Structure 1
Amino acid sequence: MKPFQLKTLIAASSLALATLLTPSAQAAGTLNVAIHQDPGNWDPIATFLVSWGAVGSQVFDGLIMRTPDMKLVPGLATKWEFLDKNTKLRFTLRTGVKFHNGEPFDAEAVKFTFDRLLGEEGKKGPQQSNYNAIEKVVVVNPTTVDFVMKSPDPVLLTKLAGYGAMIVPPKYITEKGSAYFGANPVGTGPFKFAEYKPKVSLSFTKNADYWGGAPKVDNLNYRFITEPATQAAELQAGRIDVANQIPLAMIDTLKKDPKLAVQSMDGPVALAMRYNTQRGIMKDREVRKALTMAVDRDAIIKTILLGNAKPIASFQGELSFGYDPALKPLPFNPAQAKAMLQKAGVKPGSTIQIDFRGSDSNFREVAQAVASYLQGVGITASLKPYDTNVLLNDIIPSGKTGEMWQNQWGGWTFDYDNTAYSMYYTKQRWNPFDDDAKLNALLHTQRNTWDQAARKTTLQEIGRYVADQALEMPLYSLNTIYGLNKRAKNLALPADGRFRFVDATVE
């Protein structure tokens, strides 16, 4: 080898090594995404978390799919129709589709999925209650199934595009078991599971045989990064292409970086401070109303959230079916709040505890502001951060909360039914304290009809009733905000956080 050839080879090798060691290096055809939480189980029936939804549609398909612009379109079913006066829903299934392990998708797979969801296995997770209106799934032939309904479910089609209704492989689960499946998911979706490192990362490769067309990128990597500031730092360093949580205070900084962009849009996520109505001073409805009036929610939106949210009077935003524009939030009136507390016999210096997700730095500032406002009317609030999974899987469902807790809901159906039923119906997972016969009846009434106009009226009545009972301090509907590296294109970013990167490319 001649000297100049050796020098050239050394230079090329050095350049390649430097590229590998550079933090911003990005392999061609690889998309890196940061999400804030590891749900810990990738079985569709095992979770309710938005962070699961951010991944689930990559590996699984439902009979129906929902596009980023909220339209319901064919998924594993090519068409559907109601039979027998809305008591039976028939699906015609897509042919030639296979699960990632090679087993065929057919009517038996659909029946297995819903038998499992509605059976003993489904009881272990939080998804079953969303589908209890389904009595059974009947196989008509290999490409046709009928859903026989116990009762109407006016949100059923949307739910069939949702988390729990993703179709799963019968043979794989039967042979491997649910625990193995939860850590090694197999579906029919555009990406195949490659590797899962709990609380660290999750990797996929493209499904070249995907029925909807092969993804444009070869690899899709998720990293679980709980702190928004860390997500932003990784975005700036070029190590991720999409951040699903960034500190609001860094939005302007990220926008000024020519390599980066920030996208903020109306989303389904509502936040509130839920009241423990069985504890201490919170048993009194007038006290709960007083505490709500003691907090300037508009100021919080303006100063802490920098305008990336909207005030709410019920636990839903404007995109939700059932939203009532005539229902207004209780006004900020600390003087009246003080008077109401005094009338209720609440002594100045009374103490309460506010529980919140410790990893949520944006909400930590909100919680601190709420505590400061409450101090202004004589209530001393201590803040107790929890690991998110502990708060959601133990503290709240078990009724171990303090007087108030961070209540956050994705509202993925964009229908108040899913939110309200989960939050307020007796003995639901997110309702550890309240048992209200009138509220139960209203919730049942709207769920038991296909009449959408009648439902809307009832849902608005539910919103007014919950506000009158002051079951929570409604705070705001939060914008969905993404931090982006501009080299990632065609991301089709969804308002509900449920990514589907089939058409994404990386330059």
Structure 2
Amino acid sequence: MKHSMLWAGALLATTALSPAYAQDSAVTIVLGEEPDLVEPCMATRSNIGRIVLGNISETLTELDVRGDEGLKPRLAESWELVNDNTWRFKLREGVTFSDGSTFDAADVKHSFDRAKSDQITCEISRYYEGIEITPSVVDEHTIDFTTEPAQPILPLLLSLLTIVPSETAIEFTREPVGTGPYVMSNWAPGQSITLERRDDYWGEAPAVSTANYVFRADPSVRAAMVQAGEADIAPSISAIDATTDMDASYPNSETTYLRIDHSVAPLDDKRVREALNIGIDREAFVGTILADGTQVATALNVPTTLGWNADTEARPYDPERAKALLEEAKADGVPVDTEILLVGRTGNFPGATETYEAIQSMLSEVGFNIRLQMVEVAEHEQYYSKPYVQDQPVLVGAQHDNSRGDPVFSMYFKYHSEGRQSGIADVKADDLITRATAATGDERVALWSELFGYLHDEVIADALLFHMVGHARVGNDVEFTPTIATNSQLQLSEIGLK
């Protein structure tokens, strides 16, 4: 099997502009969350990826979310399956990093080894958990990746590996160096980040010369800034504010859910987890706090994902049964009166605080003892990833983004016993994840489908909430159309100027 496609350079959302016109083309983008880091290996976290991914840092491959090209070359020109367990990538020549150093296979190997290093906790490494992957330099522009078990979609997995120079230290950096079309020229913590277009970028020069990122937690403020011409793009505003011809809705790939830690009482009791699920009136959020078109979730991945199980049905809101389940568990000695901490991430999505406040109220009405705590992204990570806080039971309110279309980007680190953000330890789930990850064709589809149904119906792994709908406001001086990936990545090369 061999893939080889011509790379046409960075995408432009409009016709190419002359260099003279583009020299003084600055845009301002207003985001809801400030990044706590600008580290490339953390770019799969949405607050970082919107700035870094595809702008400062590039990947070997790239999924086409605007057309039908599927997986496209970026820093890799082509790839082929050498044997069942080894993929070979031919790398693009003539590429330099923003520090002037030349891109080669040693940089790719170092980037992967650094991401997987136990000396730092890189966000992108979670997508490679449960797979033994060994990169080997063949020559300056050729690298092999050997996997155990075999990985039929490894080129897609590598669409998340951000490439840094081999000289990059293992510790997190505050001055990212990449092969992308932009370099970070200024970071004023709490205020703004500025990216400047590189003159020596290997690909086609984007229209935007300078991007200023500013941060406002209130979605109404973000919308008003674009309306007033103080910003050009607000990629995430609330449905309530999306009322003008400057606004566009888009089905994003985010699923909102409550991660349940099954290792702590009373959440270790299946009846309690069922009561959590049926004690939330999900339909009440749609068209009120959340946008029309928001879907009630039955899986952590959106319905377009490979192996989606259409037979899995959402549990109906049933507060009386929820109360009865808690009483039954209490009679058996389960400490259902224990305080449960609900942790939400401030600014994670428009209406996040209101959503978690409503959930707290609903669960309290059926008999749970819920305390809500809204935190910023860095503190949220302390609850979201292992080792978990163990002094009390915790529900972590979060969003999971999988725009790649295969559950392999979700299932191990979310649901395997060894997964970094898993709340369960289930032998059958582990087996299904292991087999599905290595499977191909109809077998892969069937195994993922079985896992979706098992997690929802039998394990009651989490309190799944919503498949989200995004809204963006775009100013009159630019052209930009949001996609399913906009919540996690916003490539400046996709912005056109009028």
Normalising by the smaller structure, the TM-score range is 0.7 to 0.9
Residue 495 of structure 1 pairs with residue 485 of structure 2: yes
| 1:37 alignment counterpart | 33
- Three-state SS of the structure 2 residue aligned to 1:81 is strand
| 2:48 alignment counterpart | 52
Cα distance change, pair 340–134 in 1 and its aligned pair in 2 (3 A)? closer
Describe how 1:106-117 pairs up with structure 2 within 5 A: 106-117=104-115
Cα distance change, pair 120–395 in 1 and its aligned pair in 2 (3 A)? closer
Counterpart among 139, 159, 162 of residue 161 in structure 1: 159
- Three-state SS of the structure 1 residue aligned to 2:450 is helix
| 1:354 alignment counterpart | 342
Contact 1:355–1:385 at 8 Å: present in 2 too? yes
Residue 69 of structure 1 pairs with residue 66 of structure 2: yes
Cα distance change, pair 437–134 in 1 and its aligned pair in 2 (3 A)? closer
| 2:125 alignment counterpart | 128
What letter corresponds to residue 433 of structure 2 in structure 1? L
The alpha-carbon deviation at position 496 of structure 1 amounts to 4.5
The alpha-carbon deviation at position 395 of structure 1 amounts to 6.1
User: Which structure has the higher relative contact order (CA within 8 Å, separation 6+)?
Assistant: 2
| 2:452 alignment counterpart | 463
Contact 2:45–2:123 at 8 Å: present in 1 too? no
What letter corresponds to residue 300 of structure 1 in structure 2? F
TM-score, with length taken from structure 2: 0.86
Aligned CA RMSD, in angstroms, stands at: 2.5
Cα distance change, pair 78–492 in 1 and its aligned pair in 2 (3 A)? farther
- More displaced, 281-290 or 367-376? 367-376
CA displacement 1:311-370 (0-9 Å, x = unmatched): 111222112223211211111222332333333237997754322123456122222222
Describe how 1:371-410 pairs up with structure 2 within 5 A: 371-394=360-383, 396-400=385-389, 402-410=393-401
What letter corresponds to residue 128 of structure 1 in structure 2? S
The alpha-carbon deviation at position 73 of structure 1 amounts to 0.6
The alpha-carbon deviation at position 394 of structure 1 amounts to 4.6
The alpha-carbon deviation at position 436 of structure 1 amounts to 1.6
Cα distance change, pair 108–351 in 1 and its aligned pair in 2 (3 A)? closer
Cα distance change, pair 199–411 in 1 and its aligned pair in 2 (3 A)? farther
| 1:82 alignment counterpart | 81
Residue 309 of structure 1 pairs with residue 294 of structure 2: yes
Structure 1 unaligned spans of 5+: 1-26
The alpha-carbon deviation at position 506 of structure 1 amounts to 3.2
Structure 2 unaligned spans of 5+: 1-22
- More displaced, 376-385 or 339-348? 339-348
State the structure with more CA Rg: 1
Contact 1:30–1:506 at 8 Å: present in 2 too? no
CA displacement 1:147-179 (0-9 Å, x = unmatched): 2223222442222111xx1211124x2xxx455
- Three-state SS of the structure 1 residue aligned to 2:352 is helix
| 2:9 alignment counterpart | none
1:463 and 1:438 mapped to 2: Cα distance? Answer: 12
CA displacement 1:395-416 (0-9 Å, x = unmatched): 6533226442203211243322
Contact 1:309–1:477 at 8 Å: present in 2 too? yes
How many residues are paired up? 464
1:379 and 1:247 mapped to 2: Cα distance? Answer: 29
Cα distance change, pair 358–62 in 1 and its aligned pair in 2 (3 A)? closer
2:211 and 2:88 mapped to 1: Cα distance? Answer: 35
CA displacement 1:57-87 (0-9 Å, x = unmatched): 1011111112223721111111111012x22
Q: Percent identity?
A: 23
Cα distance change, pair 396–115 in 1 and its aligned pair in 2 (3 A)? closer
1:348 and 1:62 mapped to 2: Cα distance? Answer: 47
Contact 1:350–1:380 at 8 Å: present in 2 too? yes
Task: From the two aligned structures, give the one with the greater helix fraction.
Answer: 1
Counterpart among 164, 178, 190 of residue 199 in structure 1: 190
Counterpart among 282, 299, 305 of residue 297 in structure 1: 282
1:492 and 1:305 mapped to 2: Cα distance? Answer: 18
1:395 and 1:502 mapped to 2: Cα distance? Answer: 32
- More displaced, 202-211 or 369-378? 369-378
Describe how 1:111-260 pairs up with structure 2 within 5 A: 111-121=109-119, 123-131=120-128, 133=131, 135-162=133-160, 165-171=161-167, 173=168, 177-179=169-171, 182-252=173-243, 255=244
1:319 and 1:48 mapped to 2: Cα distance? Answer: 20
The alpha-carbon deviation at position 491 of structure 1 amounts to 5.1
The alpha-carbon deviation at position 296 of structure 1 amounts to 1.6
